Homo-oligomer: A and B are copies of this chain.
């Protein structure tokens, strides 16, 4: 892309660090999927998921819902370190294309904010499995500011 990348003047790395630690303890759907926050930078994060047998369908392919839930999770999470303190990120829509079946190994999901205003962020997500791109997604997060 030749266009200028967005700036993230509010980037707070300590928020990202806190989210990374929180993921290690996380229950619920992220805990079931085993989503780890593997890396982070201003405007971006990389998540990992081990493709364990429990996440496969009876046909021994990864259930597509693992990918879509990981995309949804990444969409909202990537916004927290660059939002004003106290703001809340609400995923409002996304679209994904599934590019290839997954049968094992590790998923690596890179989420990058490609556009950000006071009210919204647009995020792109690329999921690879070993060296193969298996899912691309783009979506919108509404930024809910704290009532002052």
A binding-site residues for B, Cβ under 8 Å? 1-4, 27-30, 32-33, 54-57, 59, 63-73, 75-76, 88, 90-101, 108, 110, 114-115, 119-120, 122, 124, 126, 128, 131-133, 136, 138, 140, 142
Contact = CB atoms under 8 A, between A and B. Distances in A.
A120 B144 CA distance: 13
A88 B58 CA distance: 13
Contact of A124 (B63, B115, B136): B136
Contacts of A95: 93-96, 138
Contacts of A33: 29, 65
B71 A68 contact: yes
25 contacts: A1-B126, A2-B108, A2-B131, A3-B133, A4-B131, A28-B57, A29-B55, A30-B63, A63-B69, A63-B72, A64-B72, A64-B73, A64-B76, A64-B91, A65-B65, A65-B68, A66-B69, A67-B72, A68-B72, A92-B120, A93-B140, A97-B140, A99-B114, A119-B142, A124-B136
